[in-house]
Amino acid sequence: MNILVCISKAPDTTSKIAFTDQNTRFDTNGIQFIVNPYDEWYALVRGIELKEQNGGSVTIIAVDEADSDPVIRKAIAIGADKAVRIDARPTDPSFVAQQIAAYAADKNFDMILCGKETINYNGGVVGGMIAEHLDLPYISLATNLDMEGSKAVITREVKGGSEVLEVDGPFVLSASKGLAEQRIPNMRGIMAARTKPLDVVSAAEAADATTVRSYELPPEKGDCKMVDPEHPEELVRLLHEEAKVI
Residues 78-117, interacting with other proteins (CB under 8 A): 92-94, 97
User: Which listed residue (159, 184, 187, 202) binds other proteins by CB under 8 A?
Assistant: 159
Told to check if 239 binds other proteins by CB under 8 A, we report: yes
CB 141 within 8 A of CB 157: yes
Q: Does 232 bind other proteins (CB under 8 A)?
A: yes
Which amino acid type is present at position 95?
F
Residues that bind ligand FAD in the complex, under the rule CB under 6 A: 13, 37
Q: Which is nearer to ligand FAD, 71 or 102 (CB)?
A: 71
Interface residue with other proteins, options 1, 19, 65, 147 (CB under 8 A): 19
What distance in Å separates the CA atoms of residue 102 and residue 95, rounded to the nearest whole number?
A: 11
What are 34's strand-pairing partners? 10
Binding-residue total with other proteins (CB under 8 A): 81
Residue 70 sits in the site that holds other proteins (CB under 8 A): no
The length of the chain, given as a count of residues: 246
Torsion of CA 112, 174, 184, 12, to 10 degrees: 120
Tell me which of other proteins, ligand FAD, none is bound by residue 210, counting a contact when its beta carbon lies within the kind-specific cut-off of 5 to 8 angstroms.
other proteins
Min CB(11)–ligand FAD separation in Å: 11
Q: Smaller CB distance to ligand FAD: residue 13 or 211?
A: 13
Sign of CA dihedral 8, 73, 35, 47: positive
CB 162, min distance to other proteins, A: 5
Judged by beta carbon distances under 5 to 8 A according to partner kind, the member of ligand FAD, other proteins, none in contact with residue 212 is other proteins
Question: How would DSSP label each residue in 105-148?
Answer: TTS--SEEEEES--TTT----HHHHHHHHHT--EEEEEEEEEEE
- Residue 66 interacting partner from ligand FAD, other proteins, none (CB closer than 5 to 8 Å by kind): none
Q: What residues have CB less than 8 Å from 89, skipping those under 6 apart?
A: 64, 65
